[in-house]
Structure 1
Amino acid sequence: MSDTPRLHHGGATLLERARDLRTMIDRESAAAEAQGRLTGPVVDALHEAGVFGMWVPEPLGGAELSPKELLGVFEELTYADPSTGWAVMATTLANGTGGAYLGDEAVERIFKGPRMPLIAGQGTRPGVAVREDGGFRLSGRWSFASGMLHSQYAHSAAAIEGTGEIRIFVNPIEDVRILGNWDVLGLRATGSVDYAIDDLFVPESQTHDFTTDRPLRGGAIYRLGLLDQALICHSGWALGIGRRLLDELARHASSRAGRPGQIAGSDAFHTDFARAEAAFRAAAALIHQTWDDVESTLESGGTLSVRQETMVRLALNHITSTVAETGRFVYASGGTSALRDGLVQRLFRDVCAGAAHITSGPQVLAECGRELAGLAPGRTWTVFTLEDTRP
């Protein structure tokens, strides 16, 4: 168990470095979209800026940013390019939780190089693992492994045969069979391929309980557990793409001001834009308010209440649905400029893809409503559902 109960704050350095990379990431985004993965210059620049270590525990040389600091970096990178923000959030989450929860032998091997390792994979739709002396035999097929084409290690969930316990397994990328079927509507540059692992022995130290909130190294952020930390990722991504969508529409309208029949002269457009801006800002405010409350709890050494667990899920669900509606408004308002291949079209496709993620699904929203209405007494959150954990 970590002996650092307080929340670690890394400061604004990585946010400033991410902001400095905005122009370069934006410039490379079309090439990344075409090749189905981030470009080499972007990956190298993110390494050089230290971005891939932002979630890694401070004892391992990482920045160990706080939740609010992570939100800021993800927002900035996503604003530059939604696929970059998505690939970075997926790999840095796996880097951070791997560094916090894996055994000492695994961590010594994985985090020993001059560069931070990249770990990517899939923590849902688990494979199967059979316990064996000193570890497990792992097999399965996983989908949507964001960032895997840039990674050195795979992070995969699997159910233990006989017990049903879900564990995370981390193994070298050489042990993975990449299936290469990345043919999607949006977030094309994330390279979120499907992959398979066949009867692979994984030592115990390269695994951890999916539900653990007891870090072996690092501070209070890791007491959130893997799932709640994943909600930080998707919240920061929604902040970035929502802001970029509205800014691009404003630029589009301004560039056509003074021409007859353009939206710049339409009172109906002005009204709808004001409503879209207000809706996005309100949803963003709920994200910041909710994570401010979480940080206060972690700072005091506490654990999240059921209501706080509800609110981090609700805030994400709400901003995700808000930016999805923002995307539809921007696309409809963009006319033929949005219809043709280009930035607005890509942003629209990306927001449609991102909004489909399981973390913002309808089941989660229904469970949030049940808890908020006082209809789930004695229940606690288990991933995306409320369960009765009383003896």
Structure 2
Amino acid sequence: MPLFAGQGTQPGTAVREAGGFRLSGQWSFASGMPLAGYVHSLAAVEGTDELRICITPIDDVKMLGNWDVLGLRATGSIDYAIDGAFVPESQTHLFACDEPLRGGAIYRLGLLDQALICHSAWALGVGRRLLDELAGYAQTKAGRPGQIAGSAAFHTDFARAEAQLRAARALVRETWDDVEATLDAGGRLNVRQETMVRLALNHATSTAVEVARFAHTAGGTSAVRDGLIQRLFRDVHTGSAHITSGPQALQECGRELAGLAPGQAWAVFTLEDPVRQ
């Protein structure tokens, strides 16, 4: 099974030539790159600015090895560069392509929406693990004077955090159940569904951040020492900086939900008039 890594938000340059493209550029945050056999890279075609994903073997890549960050260190999301690699046209596709040559309905999501569902799962998973770890910590301290296990304030805040995380999970599941039904019926997502996909991710991520703050505060010295709660705290805050969970997408979601973007459609993380896309 071939393993792919790469980056799809900061385009390099693809120069068209006979049979394909000559690809050059530098890309950031390519998660899993040390394990990959192939790389997918976004490029703007010279002369047209058409956005295409180009697939190259790992041998065409220069790894820059600069992944030194606060959290998510195990993702291996290093920067990389490609200098003039030839890419056959058969190993490229339009960035917005959502008509697969094979596979099931999920592949009609397109590249971006597949990333959004993965990031949603990550946010919910790390939030869940934080609360589970905090509960385990509190149980080990039960019966000792002055510990959080006997604190009414901790009990209240834990219940609130549990409710917030479950509510975020319910929104994600409701949103993607609707998406799945549409794709299984042979349809395509409408603007409102695309809005909800982005909103569910943004809400799940911001909820995970709030859960992390609570766990970090309630965990006391155990949360600041080297351990799982500390690592998850760092991971959440690093992950929340990802462009898919950024403030621009949330602002655009609000504009569409309020009925202030009539006739517009999603172009990655902004709403635009279709004629301008």
Give the TM-score category using the shorter length: over 0.9
Residue of structure 1 in register with 2:247 after alignment: 362
Equivalent position to 1:201, from 82, 86, 93: 86
Q: What is the distance in 2 between the residues matched to 1:147 and 1:376?
A: 37
Higher-RCO chain (CA-CA 8 Å, sequence separation at least 6) = 1
Residue of structure 1 in register with 2:138 after alignment: 253
CA contact (8 A) 1:378 1:390 kept: no
Residue type of the alignment partner of 1:118: L
The count of aligned residue pairs is 276
Q: What is the distance in 2 between the residues matched to 1:227 and 1:180?
A: 25
Residue of structure 1 in register with 2:57 after alignment: 172
Gaps of 5+ in 1: 1-115
The correspondence of residues 12-161 of structure 1 with structure 2, limited to 5 A, is 116-161=1-46
Q: What is the distance in 2 between the residues matched to 1:209 and 1:305?
A: 20
Displacement, 1:302?
1.0
Q: What are the superposed Cα offsets for residues 248-300 of structure 1, whole Å, 9 maximum, x if unpaired?
A: 01001111011111111111111111110000000000000111111111111
Residue type of the alignment partner of 2:25: G
How much identity, in percent, do the aligned residues show? 75
Q: What is the distance in 1 between the residues matched to 2:132 and 2:202?
A: 22
Equivalent position to 1:298, from 175, 183, 187: 183
Q: What are the superposed Cα offsets for residues 289-343 of structure 1, whole Å, 9 maximum, x if unpaired?
A: 1111111111111111111110011000000000011111101111111111111
Displacement, 1:219?
2.4
In the alignment, does 2:170 pair up with 1:285? yes
Residue type of the alignment partner of 1:125: Q
Q: What is the distance in 2 between the residues matched to 1:275 and 1:312?
A: 24
Q: Which portions of structure 1, spanning 4 or more consecutive aligned residues, are displaced by more than 4 angstroms?
A: none
CA contact (8 A) 1:317 1:361 kept: yes
Gaps of 5+ in 2: none
RMSD: 0.9
Displacement, 1:390?
4.6
Q: What is the distance in 2 between the residues matched to 1:242 and 1:377?
A: 35
Residue of structure 1 in register with 2:116 after alignment: 231
Q: What is the distance in 1 between the residues matched to 2:57 and 2:187?
A: 36
The correspondence of residues 344-355 of structure 1 with structure 2, limited to 5 A, is 344-355=229-240
Relative to the length of structure 1, the TM-score reads: 0.70
Higher helix share: 1
In the alignment, does 2:192 pair up with 1:307? yes
